[in-house]
Amino acid sequence: MAFLTPLTLKMVKQAENRVGVTFDYVRKIAQTNFGLLLRYNKVFGFLDPRKHLPAPAYHAARLRGALAADCGTCVEAEINLALQAGLSKDLVKAILNGTLDGPLRAVVALADAVVAAKEDAPEARAEILRAYGEAGLIELSYAMNGAALLPGIKRAMGYATTCNLSMMKALS
């Protein structure tokens, strides 16, 4: 499968260009073992499909999940993906600052409780169920926990980055 490495690395570069961050750790996985890269790519099949939620709710869950685990390139990637999905810069700032109302406030509260604090948030879950239904709640749980998983993989491999303060300040 080594013959696939150049093509795979080209695809990683395209993904980096689309998301606006480097994926050094993905490149390392691709160079090490193609089978491990295929397993890693299954994570994205788990994360990416948004079928039951509006973009703001989905990206709020992903942003807060990534923020709980990292404030480096994973958060930067989630910000870029949210902006590409049509969220305004002001809405992204509000998600990062946790200054929202209504169902999005509940999404942030549940993500912060589950991913950051490892706690339950029954009131937030109830509001999410009213707003988005069971399928929406399940998709939010995938989004928040999946976005927190990726920084852990990077950190375990030695590719964790420090918080990009200039990027965070640009949004404040």
User: What's the predicted TM-score (pTM) here?
Assistant: 0.90
pLDDT at residue 168 tops 70: no
Choice between 105 and 159, residue whose per-residue pLDDT is larger: 105
Enter the tokens of residue 3.
């013959």
Domain ranges of the chain: 2-47, 55-152+160-171
Q: DSSP label at 112?
A: I
pLDDT the model gives residue 43: 79
Instruction: Report pLDDT digits (tens) over 26-44.
Output: 999 999 999 999 999 887 7
Report the C-alpha gap between 5 and 109 in whole angstroms. 42
* Residue range 57-73: mean pLDDT, rounded: 92
Report the C-alpha gap between 98 and 104 in whole angstroms. 9
Nearest to 63 by CA among 159, 172, 143: 143
* Residue range 63-71: mean pLDDT, rounded: 89
> How many other CB atoms are found less than 10 A from the CB of residue 19?
17
Choice between 124 and 170, residue whose per-residue pLDDT is larger: 124
* CATH topology (fold) of 55-152+160-171: AhpD-like (1.20.1290)
Q: DSSP label at 85?
A: T
Is 5 in contact with 31 (CB distance < 8 Å)?
A: yes
